[in-house]
Amino acid sequence: MGHIFTDYRPEKVWQYFEAITKIPRRSGNEAGMSDYLLAFAKDRGLVAYRDEYFNTVIKKQATKGYEKSNTVIIQGHLDMVCEKNSDIIFDFEKDALNLKIVDGWLTAEGTTLGADNGIAIAFALALLDSDDVAHPALEIVMTTDEEVGMTGALNMDTSSLKGKTFLNIDSEEEGELVVSCAGGLKAYIEYPVESDDLLTEGRILMEVVVKGLLGGHSGVEIDQNRGNAIKILGRVLNDINNAVDMNIVDIYGGMKDNVIPREASAFVLIPAFDEDLFAGVIEKTRLEVSNEYLHTDPNITIVYEDIECESSINAIPRDQTDTAIFLLNALPNGILAMSQNIPDLVETSLNLGVVKLKDGFIKYVFATRSSIDSKKAQMTKMLELIAKQTGSDFEVTSEYPGWDVRTESPLLEKSIAVYKTLYGKEPLVKGIHAGLESGVFLKKLKDADAISFGPDMESVHSPDERLSMASTERVWDYLVALLKSL
């Protein structure tokens, strides 16, 4: 075990968490992680298998006295969001995460930590490797591509699973039992653009960068009203475009549709004699934006740099530049509606998570979420209408169902009772705006009863992601006590 975990328990949880931080597991690249699980199971004589999507299942028999208890499914996902700070040199396809503990919180140096959902993997492996935890028969189910639309879970054949008690370990606040979640989908708007070869004599190439935002999970943290770097870049470009003759040369921002973007950049060609006007516009917008996001994104900044270029450069024509900027500003983003029956719960939202110029298109990628199917459909139609009016292509992928509250849940009753016994108080029972794979599995597993829980995490899906060490220990104790009670 790594020396930084020497004084922390549960020892096996941290042992396996450290081990998996050395294995690449970007969405779409979970084969190595699946190989690790299968080798782990083989070494311990456990039944294990995976499907063509690398969804991996490991089964363990009940401990003595629990042979007649109902089988329990413990579920999480293998993939992680891979984001890093721009000044960090790191290859998520081969480099091990650089772990550190600061004031009782585990984090990774300059990158996402992958506690979402590495903690579920670590808990599962610790259970499978234990000989002192009482439990019913276990089915460990680890899916793939959760972070890019739950495609692993959506395509998984669950006919071999026997469990009807479903524990999803993919929530991020201790003391909460999640019993419902939003459904969602990924939406693409692709605006076709030409690329004219423009002479640069009398013009200058400028890079405009919006950075320093907090970002975060586009479901869990959308209610924080944090700035979206792509939307702010769109505002900056619109202000510049209204003041000077401008052509977009390149544009990119964000990493994932389900991550609130922290940085966005554009290369633009402007007349050299307008450089001072250009600088003044940016400074005015910077002051406005800094004031508007003073409390949510205090470190936001907008900078620009003169970039050396050849005598000619490929750039987007002015009329198409206008439309591209219109889309950046007109496309909706953030919270569209709050729940009418659950206080402080976001009902419907969307996140413009990625913009990029590629293969003759400027691509705008959204994560959309709603706990009401008709609202999700209406939001999708709204995006499609805007796309149609601008001559853009529109596509929807990775749609996944929500998870409705179960009116009678013996599992929830038992989970509340165990929590009260351990901590002398009741947990918070809630729904969340983020998507969980529980919704997918409950559509497939007839009569299954589910809850979701997990330890305290902060700033998931960003390089500031961190995991509470003490909370992890308490949630492990809760999981062990819950299994014993079943």
- Name the helix (H) or strand (E) containing 320: helix 318-330
H-only helix segments in 81-166: 115-128, 151-155
Q: What is the pLDDT of residues 80-133, one digit of tens each?
A: 999 999 889 999 999 999 999 999 999 999 999 999 999 999 999 999 999 999
How far apart CA 27 and CA 461 sit, in angstroms, is: 13
Q: Which of 8-22, 210-224, 232-246, 269-283 has the lowest mean pLDDT?
A: 210-224
Q: What is the pLDDT of residues 187-206, one digit of tens each?
A: 999 999 999 899 899 999 99
Closest CA to 219 of 63, 53, 350: 350
The ranges assigned to domains in the chain are 3-182+402-485, 185-400
CB-based burial label for 68 (10 Å; 0-12, 13-18, 19+): exposed
Three-class SS state of 79: coil
* Domain pair 3-182+402-485 / 185-400, same fold: no
Residue 88: what residue type?
A: I
Work out the average pLDDT over 67-85.
Answer: 96
Q: What is the pLDDT of residues 157-167, one digit of tens each?
A: 999 999 999 99
Q: What is the pLDDT of residues 373-399, one digit of tens each?
A: 899 999 999 999 999 999 999 999 989
Q: Comparing 86 with 290, which gets the higher pLDDT? A: 290
> Can you give the pLDDT at residue 342?
78
Helices 31-43 and 115-128, axial angle in degrees (round to 10)? 10
Say if residues 261 and 253 touch (Cβ distance below 8 Å): yes
CB atoms within 10 A of CB 407: 5
pLDDT band at 2 (very low <50, low <70, confident <90, very high): low
Fold observed for domain 3-182+402-485: Aminopeptidase (3.40.630)
> Can you give the pLDDT at residue 461?
85
pLDDT band at 230 (very low <50, low <70, confident <90, very high): very high
Report phi then psi at 167, rounded to 5. Answer: -110, 110
Closest CA to 22 of 130, 89, 118: 118
Q: Measured at the alpha carbon of residue 164, what is the angle toward residues 425 and 44, in degrees to the nearest 5?
A: 95
> Can you give the pLDDT at residue 340?
84
Work out the average pLDDT over 307-317.
Answer: 94
Catalytic residue among 18, 30, 79, 190: 79
Please give the CATH architecture assigned to the domain spanning 185-400: 2-Layer Sandwich (3.30)
Say if residues 248 and 322 touch (Cβ distance below 8 Å): no
How far apart CA 269 and CA 200 sit, in angstroms, is: 8
Q: What is the pLDDT of residues 435-460, one digit of tens each?
A: 899 999 999 998 999 999 999 999 98
> Can you give the pLDDT at residue 405?
82
Tokens of 12: 């096996």
CB atoms within 10 A of CB 171: 26
Contacts of 96 (CB under 8 A, 6+ apart): 21, 22
What mean pLDDT, rounded, does the chain reach?
Answer: 95
Across 215-326, the runs of DSSP E, i.e. the strands, are: 216-217, 247-253, 259-260, 264-271, 301-307, 312-315
**Is 79 considered catalytic here?**
yes
How far apart CA 153 and CA 196 sit, in angstroms, is: 44
Catalytic residue among 83, 146, 172, 274: 146
**Is 139 considered catalytic here?**
no
